[in-house]
């Protein structure tokens, strides 16, 4: 059994193992790694955030991925949608406008519609505060951007120390 969600350090790994998990799945911790191809400002937002800066919504970013609840960092898209009373698709503030361009190596750049799913990669050219910034509550324990190998090594060392 794998544990997932809210785990971002060795202490979290140790807690999951104590509860019977054979392993863990980490997402947000590796978004803030040197190797992750995400926008540098996105990585910095994760490092600067805490769990209280995240929001869980059922249908905010659902263009291209309906019925998929998700947790993201609070941003202008969320704030404006929330202030408007959390309207349904088709009635949301700024819906259908472009937040910027998504650039891919295999095709021309394309407009990224507001409320659409996707990852703000390093090649994103637009307003990052309108993009979905996927992040879990583990951002509370993420304090730096470092190589993935170092993250794994520190997770293992810290978990081993916590487990005694």
DSSP string, 72-109: EE--HHHHHHHHTT-PPTTSSTTTT-EEEEEEETTEEE
For the stretch 14-45, pLDDT in tens is 999 999 999 999 999 999 999 999 999 999 99
Q: Where are the domains of the chain?
A: 50-134
d(CA 154, CA 113): 38
pTM: 0.92
d(CA 161, CA 73): 31
The reported pLDDT for the residue numbered 103 is 85
- Rg (Cα) of the chain, in Å, rounded? 17
The residues of the chain scoring below 50 in pLDDT are none
Which two tokens mark 97?
Answer: 């406008």
Which two tokens mark 65?
Answer: 């991925």
Per-residue exposure over 88-113, b if at least 16 CB sit within 10 Å of its own CB, e if not: eeeebbbeeebbbebeeeeeeeeebe
The reported pLDDT for the residue numbered 65 is 87
């Amino acid at each position: 059994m794998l544990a997932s969600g809210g785990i971002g350090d060795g202490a979290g790994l140790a807690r999951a193992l104590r509860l019977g998990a054979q392993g863990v799945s980490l997402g947000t911790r590796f978004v803030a790694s040197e190797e992750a191809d995400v926008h540098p400002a996105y990585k910095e937002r994760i490092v600067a955030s805490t769990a209280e800066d995240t929001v869980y919504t059922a249908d905010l970013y659902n263009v291209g991925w309906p019925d998929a609840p998700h947790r993201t960092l609070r941003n202008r898209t969320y704030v404006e949608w929330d202030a408007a009373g959390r309207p349904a698709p088709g009635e949301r503030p700024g819906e259908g406008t472009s937040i910027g361009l998504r650039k891919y190596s295999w095709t021309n750049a394309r407009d990224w519609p507001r409320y659409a799913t996707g990852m703000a990669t390093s090649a994103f050219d637009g307003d990052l505060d309108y993009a979905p910034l996927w992040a879990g509550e583990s951002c509370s324990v993420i304090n730096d951007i470092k190589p993935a190998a170092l993250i794994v090594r520190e997770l293992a060392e810290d978990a081993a120390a916590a487990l005694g």
